[in-house]
Amino acid sequence: MTVKIKGMRCNHCVGSVRKALEDIEGLSNVRVDLDRGEASFDGQVPLEKVRKAVAGIGFEVVEEAV
């Protein structure tokens, strides 16, 4: 799954988002792309769980990328 993330501006942001997603049980192979403003990962978890984890560190999942 790939999601668009609003608010990432630097590599520190990328690291924070990557860690927040890696901490979600059931997700693996987390990749965060600053230039595209996206995070992608493998695993089956509710999108709301991803939204909450990202919001908890000050960013926003704005949509699921196609």
pTM: 0.93
Q: Is the pLDDT confidence value at 63 over 90? A: no
Kindly list the domain boundaries of the chain, sorted by start residue.
2-64
Which H/E stretch holds residue 17?
helix 11-22
Partners of 35 in beta bridges: none
Give pLDDT tens digits for 9-52: 999 999 999 999 999 999 999 999 999 999 999 999 999 999 99
Residue for token pair 């049980």: 25
Tell me, which fold does domain 2-64 have in CATH? Answer: Alpha-Beta Plaits (3.30.70)
